[in-house]
Amino acid sequence: MAKADPIKGSLDFVHLQNIHRYIFEDIYSWAGELRQVDISKGNQFCLCQHLQTYGERVFSELRAGQFLIGAAKGNEFFLGLGLEAA
């Protein structure tokens, strides 16, 4: 479905929210919206007050790395996220 009728956007954080809304809108009333509460499952997830800033930063870094073109860059990017989030 997404290939035949892609969700329009500019590969940024808002675009990710739109994709989330498209996939989950029939299941969750809050689909595509930022969390308003902090949650955890074994480990604590990103604090809700930082979601917008961190999400925009991740996509800024993705853009700077040409959206992970080349596997080595992708691995370095994700390793960096993991180390920084720890």
Angle made by CA atoms 75, 34, 19, in degrees to the nearest 5: 60
Quote the percentage of the chain above a pLDDT of 70: 69
Amino acid 82: pLDDT: 60
The confidence band for 61, taking pLDDT boundaries of 50, 70 and 90, is confident
Give the pTM: 0.68
pLDDT digits (tens, 9 = 90+) for 22-46: 999 999 999 999 999 999 999 999 9
Amino acid 75: pLDDT: 62
**Which residues, 6 or more positions from 84, have their beta carbon under 8 angstroms from its beta carbon?**
none
Amino acid 31: pLDDT: 96
Amino acid 55: pLDDT: 92
**Which residues, 6 or more positions from 56, have their beta carbon under 8 angstroms from its beta carbon?**
12, 13
